[in-house]
Structure formats: structure tokens, C-alpha cells
């Protein structure tokens, strides 16, 4: 077999594996291998494709990373028109819709489906012989913008349909959305760089997808829910909507689980009110439900109007946007000392929640939107994310107060203020009671030390009275001092002290999270804990090493090494340990360790790997490498130009491998 042929076969195999793991990770949320192993598969495929560029296929997972910018987004015709939906917000109108359907179909007992109406961007995906060949935005419904490279970056979209044999041509429709957590992260990223944050996840998703440079899209994690096969050729068409969704799931698409089959319209209306109640607990935004006739035959008999099908109806939720007045702009000091301007609003109900404060992010944002006291503003609440001021409405009154200005000193402790990028920070550290109070609240919170009974109000009291002046002070609290405070009696004081005592045994991940290191949330804290296994190892980790960890970028690495490098923090941690905090060491992350206890020696000029890579592979599988042969050597990997070591290994009867054989062994 030629090298090329072998590479072709292996590339195919790797693609299959990676696409399978992509599906487990992005669609089923159930990964089966470690990130390291996944990265290895990808790296191997990339190496092959680099060597044989003509082997790159459009469905290769390497095509998900984004490609260099294009001049503009071309417009293309959709395979079938992408219609819109008739939209109502009153359940009564859904009942009228049902009556219309019953009359037109001359049938009393119709079956509907009800599903979430995703608040994102509608996308058409075209698959030719099972391979994703074209993707476009809805545009005017007939023509949309071609965004194939951008769409390829979305892990939840299969690059090849899992249908055997696949349809000749299929057009799939669904919604590209940005999960709320990603939306918050992206907005933080944007404001930190003095760029305009997005008003809601929908705009953020649109911004990500309409990039000319798909490498930028790749950095902004989107997901995709499929809900319609718009066109299909050479494949049995599903007879109902429910079956269609099942087919889409079988093909490898993410299909939302909130699907309800409804006998008549009433179950759909109950579904609407249930989902509206639970709307904030979802990890993405939905703005209503979509009710559809389940039977495709019935749909065909009803047909469509010019812009929307007759057989479907969107029943919307209450709007998340409201208009109100800014009564004041105050500056809040966060746990890290960050100063955030906050608009105090005339209280207004936004889909069931009274909103009286909205973040203005930073001084630059206030200036850009030109928000001043007395202005009328539009606010928006996405999920349970802190509401934001989107825009100012034009004023009738031209006499407005002076623009907002950041204070020159910390509004809480009067320390000086430092500017860092788009933000202002109080330099007071824990001598600033705002930072201390929030720092302790964070330390005691659920994901950290989880101290029962130490709520925000009690922390404020403890800090205000000077009883707690630092984190370690929590562990030297005395009952007598607690009893001086309002709301404490014998039992409640005992309970709190007990809860504090019980919290002393803590996992490394929780401990790292509790410290409140900038950029280290619960997830990153766990990543660090798993990687290092022991507190001392994290404390000593050099910045360059941290950067190399998967999911730890330069910003996180900088904050972590900066935090532990600061002697005040070091002293505080030492004190916590002296006070009996017991940080449970976690096992460092390890994949399978088939090379455990085996020593490898490499000799000659390696053709496919370099020495460092070879060493890394051996170590990641639990083995060791050495430069000299001895009786303890497990394997000698010999390449071209091998000399005396090869002879010595033969003498000692040590197994000799070619580079290729070594790779096979390492792959398992
Ligand atoms: S069905 C012809 N199902 O809502 C019917 N649309 O306001 C095609 N949308 O443009 C649409 N979730 O982008 C359908 N589960 C869902 C949906 C959904 C969101 C969007 C779609 C449409 C818009 C209409």
C-alpha cells in the first residue's frame, strides 16, 4: 500500500471517529473520551491533511475551525421558500386557529405538536449525498446570505448525515442560537475590550454568524436545533412532524426534548403556560411555542399563504423588553473591585419579574448610549441574566442633566481608582468593605465552601461591626460576638459555628473557586483541580504551563499566577490552612494508562513524530522514556539511522518497534 493510500484510509477512519465524538459531545451532551484524546485524534487528522491537502473533504471535522475572511457574504436562493409564522400572544387566538383547522379539514379531533419557539436565527442547510454543502440565513425568505464556513463551526450541526443511504438532496431548517452562558461570557469579553455588548443572545448569534471571517464565528459557541425537513429527494418522507423530528435526530441533529403531541388544542395551551413559567430555567432563550398540525397530509391539504403556512401558529410569551425611566445612576463595587454603573429604574414588570435595576456595564457604555438620569430607556431581560439597558428613547425635553461621570475615588472606601481596559477598579482590596463583603459571600456560596446560614445580610453585619475583616476571620468567630448581633440566639449561633466547622473539609476545585480569583469560575476551578490534583501544585504552577492547559487561556493563566504570586494572598492561604482547612486532593486527570510501568527508548531519526511528541504520547499513556538501553527497557523504537542501541537491544532481547508499530500500540 502506498503512503498516500494508507493516509487516505486512516483519514477516513479518523473523520468517522471525530464526527462520532462530536455528536456525543455537542448533540447528546455525553462525551465518551477525554479532551486530550479527542485533541490527539484531531491533531493526527490535521497532520495527514496538511501532508495531503487533496484528501481534505468538506465533511472533515477540520473544516469546523473557520477559514480566512471573505470579501462579502454572497446571497443565494433557498431550495424552498423559508416561510414565516403567523404569530399571536393570546391563547384565545390559538383556539380560533384550531377552529379554523377543524373547519378546513372537516375533522373534530386534530392532532397537533407543540414545541419551543427558539429565539435565534433561522437557517437553511443543504445536504447533497449526505454532505453539508450549503448553509444560508433566512433573508427575505426566498434569498438569504450564504454562510457555509460559519455554519460548519457549529458542533451541533452534522457535516455528514447519519443516514444510510443518505437522501440525494435534503434541505433542513432549524434555529442557530447562543446559549445564555455563552452570551454572558461574550458580552463580558466585548465590554472588556471596549466594544459594544449585545442586547440579547439572538443579536449575539446573528453577529457571530454574519462574520466574514468564520474563525471569529468559531470562537463564539453557538448551538443549533433542527425542526423541519424543507425538502427531501430520494428518501422516504416522514408522515408526521413527530416522525420528522425523530428522523432529524437519527441523522445527527440536536432536536429539543420539549415536544408535546397534543390531542386537540388545549394541551398545547397548557404547554404554553407551563413552559412560560419554566422559561428562566432553560439554558437558552425561547420566546413562545410553535403549534403545528402533526399530519403532513393534512398540512398539504391546507397549504400556505404568501408568507406563512396555514397549518402552524406561534403562540408567543410575554415580551422581555419594557420601557421605563432612569431615576438614578449609582456605582456598584464588585468582589474584584470592579466598578459597575447601575441604572436605578422606575420599577417595571418585565414578563413577570419586577425590574428596578439594570446594568450599564462600564463608563464607556454609559457614554456611548448617552444615558442620563431622567431618560426614558428600553430595557431587556434575557433568562435570569441581569437586565440591561438597550437604548435611550428620544427625549422631548432638551434640558437634560450633565452626563454621568465615574467617581474619582471608590464610592465605598474612598481608595484610589485604577483603570484597566474599559473598566475602573477600586484599589482598596479587602480593606474595601464592598469587596470584603462580596468576597465572603462568594467564599461561603453554594459552589464554594457552601456555608449554611451565612447569607448576605449576616455577612454585611459581620463586616460592618468589624468582626470579620478577612476570610480567615470566619474560622475564628466566637459565639459571644455572634450573640451581640441582631437575629442571633443560642441555637442560631451554634448552628452557624457548626456549619463553618463542617465546611472546613473542601475539595480542591471548590477551594480554588472560593478564592475568587479573577476569571476563575466553577468550571475553570475544576479544570485546574483535575489537572494539578494538589493545592501546592496549583500554587507553584508557572504561567507558561497554565496556558498550555486545555480551557485555560492566557487571561486565566495570568490571573491565576498573578493571584498566587501576590504575597498577601499567599499569607491568607497559609493562614486558612493553619486554621484547619482541609483541602481534599483530587486525583490528577488521567485517561487509560496502558503504558504504566513501561520504559521506551527512541533511536534514529523519527520520521512522523518528533522526540518531544513521542515523549508526550508515552507519558500521557502512563509510560516513561529513557535515552539509554538497559534490562528494564520495555521497547526500543528504532527509525532510520539507528546504531548501537539497536544492537544492544537485540543482545538483551528487547522488543524492537518501527515508528509505525509504536503509533499503533499508542493508539489502542
Ligand atoms: S417552524 C414554515 N419551529 O420562528 C414553518 N419555527 O417567528 C417554519 N422558529 O422564522 C418554522 N422556533 O425562525 C418553527 N420550533 C420552531 C421554531 C421556529 C423558532 C422561528 C423561525 C421562524 C420564526 C417565526
26-70 pLDDT tens trace: 887 777 888 778 888 998 998 998 889 898 888 888 888 777 777
Give the model's pLDDT for residue 229: 97
Q: What residues have CB less than 8 Å from 94, skipping those under 6 apart?
A: 88, 265, 268, 269, 272, 291, 313, 315
Condensed to tens digits (0 to 9), the pLDDT of residues 293-316 reads 999 999 999 999 888 999 999 999
Establish whether residue 287 lines the binding site of ligand 1, counting it when its CB lies within 6 angstroms of any ligand atom.
no
Under DSSP, the state recorded for 472 is: G
Clarify whether 117 is annotated catalytic.
Answer: yes
Report yes or no: 589 and 551 within 8 Å, Cβ to Cβ: no
Nearest ligand 1 atom to alpha carbon 256: 15
Determine if ligand 1 sits within 6 Å of the CB of residue 115.
yes
Q: Is the CB of 87 under 6 A from ligand 1?
A: yes
CA–CA separation, 659 and 668 (whole Å): 15
Domains by residue range for the chain, with CATH = 3-65 (1.10.287.610), 87-316 (3.30.470.30), 321-392 (2.40.50.140), 429-503 (1.10.150.20), 507-584 (1.10.150.20), 599-667 (3.40.50.10190)
Which residue, by CA, sits nearest to atom 6 of ligand 1? 117
| Residue 210 alpha carbon to ligand 1 centre in Å | 19
Instruction: Determine the residue of 314, 315, 317, 319 to mutate for testing ligand 1's pocket, defined as the one with the most ligand atoms within 8 A of the Cβ atom.
Output: 314
| Helix H or strand E encompassing 464 | helix 456-464
Q: In sequence order, which residues have a C-beta less than 8 Å from that of residue 594 and are 6 or more positions away? A: 621, 622, 668
Asked if 549 and 493 count as a contact pair (C-beta separation under 8 A), the reply is no
Q: Ligand 1 centroid to 122 CA: how many Å?
A: 7
Residue with the bigger pLDDT between 79 and 594: it is 79
- Tell me the sheet residues that pair with 376: 325
Which of 5, 17, 103, 117 does the annotation list as catalytic? 117
81 C-beta closer than 6 A to ligand 1: no
Average pLDDT score over the chain: 90
Return the closest-CA partner of residue 138 out of 201, 209, 64: 209
pLDDT of residue 494: 96
84 close to ligand 1 (CB < 6 Angstrom): yes
Q: Kindly give the residue spans of alpha helices, DSSP state H, lying in 61-147.
A: 91-105
What average pLDDT does this structure show over 461-483?
A: 94
Rounded CA-CA distance 657/26 in Å is 38
Please report the pLDDT score of residue 310 as a whole number: 96
pLDDT at residue number 421 = 83
Number of the ligand 1 atom closest to the C-alpha atom of 83:
2
The torsion of the CA quartet 318, 320, 323, 328, rounded to 10 degrees, works out to: 140
Mean per-residue pLDDT for 353-380? Answer: 92
Query: Which helix (H) or strand (E) segment is 391 a member of?
Result: strand 388-392
Q: What is the pLDDT of residue 590?
A: 58
User: CA dist 649 to 209, 652, 654, 657, 661, Å?
Assistant: 57, 5, 5, 11, 17
- Ligand 1 lined by 259 (C-beta under 6 Å): no
Mutational test site, ligand 1, from 118, 123, 142, max ligand atoms within 8 Å of CB: 118
Highest-scoring range by mean pLDDT, 199-208, 551-560, 649-658: 199-208
| Selected residue with higher pLDDT from 487 and 606 | 487
Interacting residues of 294 by C-beta distance below 8 A, sequence separation 6+: 111, 112, 113, 240, 241, 242, 261
Q: Where is mean pLDDT largest: 94-98, 336-340, 597-601, 645-649?
A: 94-98
The answer, yes or no, to whether residue 422 has pLDDT greater than 90, is no
Looking at the CA of residue 82, tell me the nearest atom of ligand 1: 2
What is the rounded CA–CA span in Å between residue 538 and residue 177?
36
List helix spans (H) across 280-409.
296-302, 363-369
Arithmetic mean of pLDDT, 551-558: 82
* 411 Cα: distance to centroid of ligand 1 (angstroms): 48
Q: What is the pLDDT of residue 668?
A: 53
Q: Report d(CA 614, CA 537) in Å as an integer.
A: 25
Residue 312 in contact with ligand 1 by CB distance below 6 A: yes
Q: Please choose from 117, 242, 279, 305 the residue to mutate so as to test ligand 1's pocket, defined by most ligand atoms within 8 A of CB.
A: 117
**And the C-alpha cell for 247?**
428522523
CA distance 174 to 227: 5
Give me the long-range contacts of 584-589 (CB less than 8 A, separation at least 24). 584/505, 584/506, 584/507, 584/508, 585/508, 585/533, 585/534, 585/535, 586/507, 586/508, 586/509, 586/529, 586/530, 586/533, 587/533, 588/530, 588/531, 588/532, 588/533, 589/34, 589/530, 589/531
* Dist CA 198 CA 360 (whole Å): 12
Ligand 1 pocket check for 245: Cβ under 6 Å: no
CA of 123 relative to ligand 1 center, distance in Å: 10
Task: Judge contact between 560 and 554, C-beta under 8 A.
Answer: no
Q: Provide the grid cell at 201.
A: 443572545
What is the Cα–Cα distance from 391 to 324, expressed in whole angstroms?
11
563 in Cβ contact with 569 (< 8 Å)? yes
Nearest residue CA, atom 18 of ligand 1? 117
Q: How far is the CA of 148 from the centre of ligand 1 (A)?
A: 20
| Residue 18 grid cell | 471525530
**Distance from the CA of 85 to the center of ligand 1, in angstroms?**
6
Q: Say how many Å lie between the CA of residue 79 and the centre of ligand 1.
A: 17
Distances in Å between the Cα of 371 and the Cα atoms of 333, 334, 397 are 20, 22, 14
Distance CA 617, CA 623 (A): 9
256 touches ligand 1 (CB under 6 Å)? no
Q: What is the CA radius of gyration of the chain?
A: 30
Choose the residue to mutate in 81, 85, 228 for probing ligand 1, maximizing ligand atoms within 8 Å of C-beta.
85
Is residue 592 scored above 70 in pLDDT? no
Angstrom distance (rounded) from CA 346 to CA 22: 47
Evaluate if residue 111 carries a pLDDT over 80.
yes
User: The whole model's pTM is what?
Assistant: 0.64
Nearest-5° Cα angle at 386, 383 to 390:
95
For atom 16 of ligand 1, which residue has the closest CA? 117
Order across the sheet with 599-603: list the strands: 624-626, 599-603, 633-638, 655-657
In which region does residue 444 sit, left (phi positive, over 0), alpha (psi from -120 to 50) or beta (all else)?
alpha
**CA–CA gap between residue 274 and residue 288 (Å, rounded):** 11
Among residues 433, 387, 396, 455, which one has the least CA distance to residue 197? 387
Amino acid 374: pLDDT: 93
Q: Per residue in 266-276, is it b (16+ CB within 10 Å) or e — as a string?
A: eebbebbeebb
Q: Are strands 505-507 and 376-380 parallel, antiparallel or unpaired?
A: unpaired
Residue of minimum CA distance from atom 17 in ligand 1: 117
Instruction: Please report the pLDDT score of residue 588 as a whole number.
Output: 57
Closest-CA residue to 633 (of 595, 598, 596, 594): 598
What are the percentages of helix, strand and coil residues in the chain, rounded to 5?
40, 20, 35
**CA proximity to 439, closest of 509, 349, 338:** 338
Tens of pLDDT, residues 492-519: 999 999 999 999 999 999 999 999 998 8
- In the chain, count H helices and then E strands: 24, 24
Condensed to tens digits (0 to 9), the pLDDT of residues 376-417 reads: 999 998 776 788 898 999 877 778 899 999 999 999 999 999
The minimum-distance atom of ligand 1 relative to the CA of 308 is 2
CA of 130 to the centre of ligand 1 (A): 24
The cell for 70 is 471573505
Cβ-proximal residues to 603 (8 Å cutoff; 6+ apart), any chain: 636, 637, 638, 639, 642, 643, 645, 646
In the predicted model, what is the mean pLDDT of residues 478-483? 94
SS (H, E, C) 154-169: CCCCCCECCCCCCCCE
Residue where the block lists cell 471569529: 216
Tell me if 118 CB under 6 Å of ligand 1. yes
- What is the whole-number distance in angstroms between the Cα of residue 90 and the centre of ligand 1? 18
Scan for cell 500500540, then name that residue. Answer: 665
Residue 231 CA, ligand 1 centroid: distance in Å: 16
Q: Is the CB of 122 under 6 A from ligand 1?
A: yes
228 lines ligand 1 (CB under 6 A): yes
The grid coordinates listed for 476 are 475564628
**CA 115 – ligand 1 centroid, Å:** 10
Confidence of residue 1 (pLDDT cuts 50, 70, 90): low
Q: What is the Å distance from ligand 1's center to 290 Cα? A: 7
Q: Which amino acid residue places its CA nearest to atom 21 of ligand 1?
A: 122
d(CA 521, CA 555): 13
Angle at 43 between CA 42 and CA 49, to 5 degrees: 90
Enter the DSSP assignment of 24: I
Q: Is the CB of 117 under 6 A from ligand 1?
A: yes
Residue nearest to atom 12 of ligand 1 (CA): 117
227 lines ligand 1 (CB under 6 A): yes
Amino acid at each position: 500500500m502506498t503512503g498516500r493510500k494508507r493516509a487516505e484510509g486512516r483519514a477516513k477512519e479518523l473523520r468517522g471517529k471525530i464526527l462520532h465524538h462530536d455528536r456525543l459531545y455537542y448533540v447528546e451532551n455525553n462525551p465518551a473520551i477525554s479532551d486530550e484524546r479527542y485533541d490527539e485524534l484531531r491533531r493526527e487528522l490535521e497532520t495527514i491533511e496538511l501532508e495531503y491537502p487533496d484528501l481534505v473533504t468538506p465533511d472533515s471535522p477540520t473544516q469546523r475551525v473557520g477559514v480566512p475572511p471573505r470579501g462579502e457574504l454572497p446571497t443565494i436562493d433557498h431550495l424552498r421558500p423559508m416561510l414565516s409564522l403567523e404569530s399571536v400572544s393570546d391563547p384565545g387566538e390559538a383556539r380560533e386557529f384550531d377552529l379554523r383547522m377543524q373547519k378546513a379539514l372537516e375533522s373534530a379531533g386534530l392532532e397537533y405538536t407543540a414545541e419551543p419557539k427558539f429565539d435565534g436565527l433561522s437557517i437553511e442547510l443543504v445536504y447533497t449525498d449526505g454532505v453539508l454543502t450549503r448553509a444560508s440565513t433566512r433573508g427575505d425568505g426566498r434569498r438569504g446570505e450564504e454562510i457555509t464556513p460559519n455554519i460548519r463551526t457549529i458542533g451541533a450541526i452534522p457535516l455528514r448525515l447519519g443516514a444510510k443511504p443518505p437522501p440525494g438532496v435534503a434541505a433542513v431548517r432549524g434555529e442557530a442560537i447562543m446559549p445564555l452562558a455563552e452570551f454572558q461570557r461574550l458580552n463580558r469579553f466585548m465590554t472588556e475590550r471596549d466594544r459594544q455588548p449585545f442586547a440579547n443572545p439572538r443579536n449575539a448569534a446573528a453577529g457571530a454568524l454574519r462574520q466574514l471571517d468564520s474563525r471569529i464565528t468559531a470562537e463564539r459557541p453557538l448551538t443549533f436545533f433542527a425542526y423541519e425537513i424543507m425538502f427531501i429527494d430520494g428518501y422516504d418522507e416522514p408522515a408526521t412532524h413527530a416522525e420528522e423530528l425523530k428522523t432529524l435526530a437519527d441523522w445527527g441533529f440536536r432536536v429539543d426534548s420539549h415536544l408535546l403531541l397534543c390531542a386537540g388544542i388545549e394541551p398545547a395551551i397548557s404547554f404554553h403556560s407551563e413552559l412560560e413559567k419554566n422559561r428562566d430555567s432553560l439554558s437558552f432563550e425561547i420566546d413562545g411555542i410553535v403549534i403545528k398540525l402533526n399530519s403532513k397530509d393534512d398540512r398539504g391539504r391546507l397549504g400556505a399563504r404568501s408568507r406563512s403556512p396555514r397549518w402552524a401558529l406561534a403562540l408567543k410569551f410575554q415580551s422581555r423588553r419594557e420601557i421605563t425611566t432612569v431615576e438614578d445612576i449609582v456605582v456598584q463595587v464588585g468582589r474584584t473591585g470592579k466598578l459597575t454603573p447601575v441604572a436605578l429604574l422606575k420599577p417595571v414588570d418585565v414578563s413577570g419579574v419586577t425590574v428596578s435595576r439594570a446594568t450599564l456595564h462600564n463608563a464607556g457604555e454609559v457614554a456611548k448610549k448617552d444615558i442620563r438620569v431622567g431618560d426614558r430607556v428600553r430595557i431587556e431581560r434575557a433568562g435570569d441574566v441581569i437586565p440591561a439597558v438597550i437604548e435611550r428613547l428620544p427625549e422631548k425635553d432638551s434640558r437634560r442633566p450633565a452626563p454621568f461621570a465615574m467617581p474619582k475615588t471608590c464610592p465605598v472606601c474612598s481608595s484610589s481608582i485604577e483603570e484597566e481596559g474599559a473598566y475602573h477598579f477600586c484599589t482598596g482590596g479587602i480593606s474595601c468593605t464592598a469587596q470584603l463583603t462580596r468576597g465572603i459571600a462568594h467564599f461561603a456560596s453554594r459552589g464554594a465552601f457552601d456555608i449554611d446560614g451565612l447569607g448576605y445580610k449576616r455577612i454585611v453585619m459581620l463586616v460592618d461591626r468589624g468582626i470579620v475583616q478577612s476570610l480567615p476571620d470566619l474560622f475564628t468567630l466566637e459565639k459571644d460576638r455572634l450573640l451581640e448581633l441582631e437575629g442571633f440566639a443560642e441555637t442560631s449561633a451554634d448552628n452557624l459555628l457548626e456549619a463553618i466547622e463542617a465546611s472546613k473539609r473542601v475539595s480542591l476545585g471548590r477551594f480554588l473557586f472560593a478564592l475568587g480569583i479573577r476569571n476563575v469560575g466553577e468550571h475553570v476551578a475544576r479544570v485546574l483541580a483535575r489537572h494539578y490534583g494538589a493545592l501546592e501544585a496549583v500554587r507553584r504552577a508557572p504561567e507558561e504551563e497554565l496556558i498550555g492547559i486545555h480551557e485555560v487561556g492566557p487571561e486565566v493563566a495570568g490571573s491565576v499566577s498573578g493571584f498566587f504570586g501576590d504575597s498577601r494572598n499567599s499569607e491568607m492561604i497559609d493562614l486558612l490552612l493553619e486554621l484547619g482547612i482541609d483541602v481534599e486532593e483530587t486525583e490528577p486527570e488521567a485517561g487509560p494508562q496502558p503504558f504504566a510501568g513501561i520504559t521506551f527508548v527512541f533511536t534514529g531519526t523519527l520520521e512522523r513524530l518528533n522526540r518531544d511528541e513521542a515523549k508526550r504520547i508515552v507519558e500521557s499513556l502512563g509510560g516513561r522514556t529513557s535515552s539509554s538501553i538497559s534490562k528494564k527497557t520495555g521497547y526500543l523504537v528504532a527509525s532510520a539511522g539507528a546504531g548501537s542501541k539497536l544492537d544492544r537491544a537485540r543482545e538483551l532481547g528487547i522488543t524492537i518497534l518501527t515508528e509505525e508499530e509504536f503509533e499503533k500500540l499508542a493508539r489502542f
